[in-house]
Copies of this chain bind each other. A is one copy, B any other.
Amino acid sequence: MFMNYNLAFDSRETDMSEQHATPVDTVLALVQRNSLTRLVGEALEKLILSGELSPGSKLNEAALAERLGVSRGPLREAFRTLAETGLIRQEKNRGAYVREIELAEAADIYDVRAGLDATAGRLLAGRITTAQLALLREFAAGMQRAAATNDVDAFHTLNLAFHDRIVEMTGNVALIDVYRRLVKQLALFRRRNLLAPRAIPHFADEHSAIVDRLAAGDGPGAAEALYQHAQGGRQRMLRDGELAAMPAAGEKHA
């Protein structure tokens, strides 16, 4: 009784690490451990974060259900999860839409994220291990290389991983959850992809400084460095956003 679920749209699979397991094993384990609702939710999240479903898109229940090979029930439950995560917006009797995040909203999220980064740094400085430090230094070195070669994409990926790891290393599940939720929401704000290449070396240096503070066990220092670092990103985003929007007069941002 294997229903023919269609939760991956394209041929490239999500994780090749378990490629050698038989198809039955993977499908069986997948469906047995994760509920259909969870699988649908992850599939939708992937579609949204990859941009395949762009902000503002209407999410038609019947169409999506058929596309995913699932009935509307699990899909609607997945919608509730995504709505709570902040990736979609639901209106009664109107349907669900991929959330649109405007500049001011993204700036607000950035403020919260900056605070979380600072909290992570303060927590981690007191308990970081040498192995963890080595890993972070590796990330920092990789970003220095990316900066030297002007590899914007590599830098961007490493940058996300670097900050995620810092948060993850705290072991504080509540912090990790909240942080990742906000990062996902920020990913909806696609305008910031214009990572200015000449700003990259500066950020790379800041990363190294952050690792130094963590290595020194300087909680407040790491917190401050991470906070200012995030605020720098926020400012850059605001500058780029205002340039793109080009308002006639100065925008009102409290």
CB under 8 Å from chain B, chain A span 33-83: 33-35, 37, 73, 76-78, 80-81, 83
CB neighbours of A105 from chain B (8 A): 173-174
B81 touches A112 (CB 8 A): no
A223 to B123, CA, bound (A): 16
Could you tell me the distance between the alpha carbons of A185 and B173 in the complex, rounded to whole angstroms? Answer: 13
Contact A252 B174 (CB under 8 A): no
CB neighbours of A35 from chain B (8 A): 92
Shortest Cβ distance from A246 into chain B, in angstroms?
11
Interface size on A, residues (CB 8 A): 56
Interface check A205, CB cutoff 8 A: no
How many copies make up the complex?
A: 2
In the complex, whether A23 has a CB less than 8 A from a CB of chain B is no
Expressed in whole angstroms, the Cα–Cα distance for A178 and B105 within the complex equals 14
Decide if B34 touches A219 in the complex (CB within 8 Å): no
Chain B hits for A175, CB < 8 A: 108, 111-112
Consensus secondary structure, chain A interface: helix
Cβ of A103 within 8 Å of any chain B Cβ, yes or no, is: no
Contact of A174 among B34, B37, B126, B185 (CB under 8 A): B185
> Across the interface, which residues of B come within 8 angstroms of A171, CB to CB?
254
Interface members, chain A 234-254 (any B CB < 8 Å): 247, 249-254
- Closest B residue, CB atoms, query A171: B254
Binds B, one of A5-13, A114-122, A141-149, A158-166: A114-122
Chain A to chain B contacts (Cβ below 8 Å), 18 pairs? A33-B92, A77-B77, A77-B80, A80-B80, A81-B83, A84-B85, A112-B119, A112-B178, A115-B118, A118-B118, A118-B254, A122-B250, A122-B253, A127-B254, A174-B182, A219-B250, A220-B250, A223-B250
A sample of 8 more A-B contacts (CB under 8 A), given A81-B84, A118-B254, is: A34-B92, A112-B174, A118-B253, A122-B250, A127-B247, A178-B178, A219-B250, A223-B254
